[in-house]
Amino acid sequence: MRTIKLIKCFDFIESNRNIITLGTNVRLNPLIHRIQLEENANGKYSTDADLYVKTWITTPQSVKQWLSFESIITHEFAEDGTQLTDHGYRLGNGTDEYWWNGATWEINTTDWNTEEDIATNIQTFSITEKSIQVIINLSTTNIDYTPLLQSVKILYDSDIEFQEDVVRSIISNLSENIRPNSSHAVILASDTDTIDLINDFPLKTQHDITDIDSAFNHDTDSNHDIDIFSSYDSGTKVITLNAVQTTGTTIWIRFIYKPSVAVTTKRTYTEIGKVPCVVISDINFINKKQGQADNSVMNNTTGVGTRVKAPSMVDIEFMLRILTGKALDQHRLIDEIRRHFRQNPMLTSRGMDESYSLQQLGEFDQHDTIDAAETEVGLLSCRVLNALFYNRGDETVYATKRFVINGPPNLVVS
CATH of 4-158, picked from 2.40.480, 3.40.50, 2.60.120, 2.30.31, is 2.60.120
| pLDDT value for 369 | 54
CA dihedral sign of residues 386, 388, 393, 397: positive
> For residue 156, what pLDDT is reported?
98
pLDDT-derived band at 269 (thresholds 50, 70, 90) equals very low
Q: List pLDDT tens digits, range 8-62.
A: 999 999 999 999 999 999 999 999 999 999 999 999 999 999 999 999 999 999 9
What is the reported pLDDT for 202? 65
- Which is higher by pLDDT, 370 or 19? 19
Task: Give ranges for CATH 3.30.2000.30 in the chain.
Answer: 162-178+260-396
> In the predicted model, is pLDDT for residue 267 greater than 80?
no
List where CATH 2.60.120 sits in the chain.
4-158
Give the lowest-confidence range in 164-178, 278-292, 359-373: 359-373
Higher pLDDT, 340 or 366: 340
- What pLDDT is recorded for position 363? 85
Do 265 and 163 touch, CB atoms closer than 8 A?
A: no
In CATH, what class is 162-178+260-396?
alpha beta
* Angle (deg, nearest 10), helices 327-342 and 162-177: 110
Higher pLDDT, 128 or 264: 128
Task: Give the C-alpha distances (Å, rounded to integers) separating 199 from 21, 188, 203, 238.
Answer: 49, 12, 11, 10
| Confidence band for 271, pLDDT divided at 50, 70 and 90 | very low
Most confidently predicted of 138-142, 261-265, 297-301: 138-142
Give residue 229's pLDDT band: very low, low, confident or very high (50, 70, 90). Answer: very high
The mean pLDDT of 68-91, rounded to a whole number, is 96
More confident residue, 365 or 232: 232
Over residues 347-363, mean pLDDT:
94
Q: Is the pLDDT of residue 370 over 60?
A: no
CB atoms within 10 A of CB 352: 25
pLDDT computed for residue 404 by the predictor: 66
Give the CA-trace dihedral at 121, 123, 126, 130, to 10 degrees. 130
The pTM of this model reads 0.85
Asked if the model's pLDDT at residue 265 lies above 80, the reply is no
pLDDT > 70: percent of the chain = 91
Q: What's the confidence (pLDDT) of residue 270?
A: 39
Mean pLDDT score of the chain, rounded to an integer? 90
Q: Taking the CB of residue 268, how many other CB atoms lie within 10 A of it?
A: 6
Q: Provide Rg for the chain, Cα atoms.
A: 29
Q: Do 345 and 244 touch, CB atoms closer than 8 A?
A: no
CA distances in angstroms from 245 to 10, 190, 236, listed in the order given? 58, 8, 20
CB atoms under 10 Å from CB of 248, counted, come to 11
Question: What's the number of CA atoms in the CB half-sphere (13 Å) around residue 286?
Answer: 10
